[in-house]
């Protein structure tokens, strides 16, 4: 029994390590996509477009690890909550990887046009989304409810920036039809970044449930975003 328990703890530690690795990878791809866009570097953007495989491989590996932990060790209570949280976080991180590709796609199109404006708010959104992602995973590993709650609070900033970007770009589009196509792509990028924040929020909510067995979802209409 001693050996089995030890083995379980080791497996659980490895699972967390792999989730962190996946989070780091997904975050890095978001960073690259946004940098490629804001610094107008098509090569960087192109790299994000084709580099989804490591994230997808980790997605399958982590799912498999969770499944084996559930099947072989039949964990109870707290350990069970950690593994179910890991299943969900894994899904969220995989979607973040997809969204990095979506950002790169829109960026690739955007870079074929003249710049609509200097990009300030979009890199800002990128930084907030990356920080939220990193903090939510730190909160998972450290079982840190306060940090998880701080992540939830950050999401409003992303929503506000997204709405601001939308209004500003709409003004450009209305004034000059030549900006429409490019402005549309920036609007899409801002929405992809907002969704990355939503995934970090999901992770933070899972952490709060995992640590406290308290369900903070669906308190105060999280469903709707302002510019849906």
**Positions that interact with its own copies (CB under 8 A):** 49, 52-53, 56-57, 59-60, 63, 66-67, 70-71, 74, 76-77, 80-81, 84, 87-88, 91, 97-98, 101-103, 105-106, 170, 173-174, 177, 180-181, 184, 187-188, 192, 215, 217-218, 221, 223-225, 227-228
* 81 vs 157, beta carbon nearer its own copies: 81
HEC readout, 168-186: HHHHHHHHCHHHHHHHHHH
Q: What angle do CA 25, 97, 16 make, to 5 degrees?
A: 50
Residue 5 CB, nearest approach to its own copies (Å): 16
Those residues whose C-beta lies under 8 Å from the C-beta of residue 45, and which sit 6 or more positions away, are 33, 36, 37, 104, 107, 108, 111
* 146 vs 177, beta carbon nearer its own copies: 177
Residue 16 CB, nearest approach to its own copies (Å): 18
Residue 176 CB, nearest approach to its own copies (Å): 9
Residue 139 CB, nearest approach to its own copies (Å): 19
What tokens appear for 162 in the block? 């997204």
* 40 vs 217, beta carbon nearer its own copies: 217
* 36 vs 97, beta carbon nearer its own copies: 97
**Sign, CA torsion 210/211/215/216:** negative
CA distances from 9 to 126, 129, 131, 163, 218 (A): 35, 31, 28, 45, 33
* 38 vs 110, beta carbon nearer its own copies: 110
């Amino acid at each position: 029994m001693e050996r089995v328990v030890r083995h379980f703890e080791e497996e659980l530690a490895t699972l967390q390590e792999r989730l962190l690795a996946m989070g780091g990878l997904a975050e890095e791809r978001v960073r690259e996509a946004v940098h490629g866009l804001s610094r107008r570097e098509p090569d960087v953007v192109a790299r994000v477009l084709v580099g989804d495989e490591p994230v997808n491989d980790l997605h399958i590996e982590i799912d498999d690890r969770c499944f084996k932990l559930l099947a072989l060790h039949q964990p109870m209570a707290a350990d069970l909550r950690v593994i179910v949280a890991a299943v969900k976080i894994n899904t969220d991180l995989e979607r973040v990887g997809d969204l990095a590709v979506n950002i790169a796609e829109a960026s690739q199109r955007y870079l074929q046009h003249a710049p609509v404006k200097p990009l300030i708010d979009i890199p800002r959104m990128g930084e907030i989304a990356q920080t939220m992602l990193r903090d939510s995973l730190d909160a998972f590993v450290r079982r840190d409810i306060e940090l998880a709650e701080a992540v939830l609070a950050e999401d409003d900033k992303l929503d506000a920036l997204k709405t601001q970007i939308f209004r500003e770009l709409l003004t450009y589009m209305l004034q000059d039809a030549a900006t429409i196509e490019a402005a549309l792509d920036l609007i899409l990028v801002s929405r992809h970044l907002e969704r990355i924040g939503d995934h970090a929020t999901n992770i933070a909510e899972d952490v709060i449930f995992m640590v406290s067995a308290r369900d903070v979802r669906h308190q105060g209409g999280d469903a709707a975003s302002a510019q849906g």
